[in-house]
Amino acid sequence: MSSCASASALRYRDGVRTAAAVAATVWFFGASFGLVARSAGMGVLAPLVMSATTFAGSAQFAAASILAGSGSAVAAITAAVLLNARYVPISISVAQLFHGHRLRRLAESQLIVDESWALAGRGGRFDRRILIGAGVLLYLAWVSGTAVGVLAGDAFGDPKTLGLDGAFPALFLALLVPQLRSRRAVVAALVAAGISLALIPVTPPGTPIVAASAACLLGLRRPR
């Protein structure tokens, strides 16, 4: 059995270490969110509360930029919720890792974010300890980055100057490769890519990812 406490601590540490480089990127991204949110007129406290409760970069940036363009609350909420709708399929994919009381599962599920989820699936199977370990680290990086961005502001500038917008898809690509071990996974991934490409021009951001998740229905066919 792997119930030995030191082995368990080791796995948590592995999760934290694996996530360290990603956390640095997320920290800078959080700092840019703080800056963008502040200049969008969100003040100091609201961006911090948003990072602590929403903990999802793309939705937060979308909401801030809509508020900056003096868009309506409904527009900002709709955009952000659509962008985060992917967390329904994402959280279902790791549901098996959560045990215990409903409230505990609710609390722990908040550590699910694209990067912690992807890192946890790195070995081809999802690892609970990596999900939690990486989730805690990324949460701290995101919230503290936001705080520094809100307060220190201009020192950071546009995340695009640092190329961070190209770093995240490359990270997801690196974590996708070990998932493509079966022919079925490759076919499903290709279908998902096709759905995403087809829908990006015609649907609001966020929708293509949710629609693409339908490609996993290929899993209904038993492997031969």
Q: Which of residues 99-158 bind another protein (CB under 8 A)?
A: 99-100, 102, 105-106, 108-110, 112, 114, 118, 121, 126
Cα–Cα distance measured from residue 95 to residue 110, given in angstroms and rounded to the nearest whole number: 12
| 175 part of the interface to another protein, by CB under 8 A | yes
Which of 6/161 has CB closer to another protein? 161
Look-up of token digits 């991934």: 189
- Give 60-63 contacts, CB < 8 A, sequence gap 24+: 60/33, 61/33, 61/36, 62/205
Burial (CB < 10 A; 0-12, 13-18, 19+), residue 90, is middle
Positions in 27-86 near another protein (CB under 8 A): 41-43, 46, 49-50, 53-56, 59-60, 63, 67, 72-73, 76-77, 80-81, 84-86
Q: What 8-state DSSP symbol labels residue 179?
A: G
Closest CB 144 distance from another protein, rounded Å: 18
Are 180 and 186 contacting, i.e. CB atoms less than 8 angstroms apart? yes
Pick from 18, 77, 83: nearest CA to 57: 83
CB of 1 to another protein, least distance (A): 18
* Residue 12, CA distances (Å) to 99, 116, 215 in order: 17, 13, 32
Q: Which of 96, 154, 183, 224 binds another protein (CB under 8 A)?
A: 96
CA dist 145 and 162 (Å) reads 15
Q: Which stretch binds another protein (CB under 8 A): 8-16, 141-149, 179-187?
A: 179-187
Taking the C-alpha atoms of residue 70 and residue 26, their distance in angstroms, rounded to an integer, is 27
Between residues 151 and 164, which has the closer beta carbon with respect to another protein? 164
Q: How far is the CB of 201 from another protein (least distance, A)?
A: 5
Among residues 69, 123, 157, 166, the one that binds another protein under rule CB under 8 A: 166
Find the shortest distance in angstroms from Cβ 133 to another protein: 15
Count of residues near another protein by CB under 8 A: 104
6-14, 136-144, 148-156, 212-220 -> range binding another protein (CB under 8 A): 212-220
Give the nearest distance from C-beta 180 to another protein in angstroms.
6
Residue of 14, 90, 148, 153 that binds another protein (CB under 8 A): 90
User: Can you tell me the distance from the alpha carbon of 189 to that of 204, in angstroms, rounded to the nearest whole number?
Assistant: 21
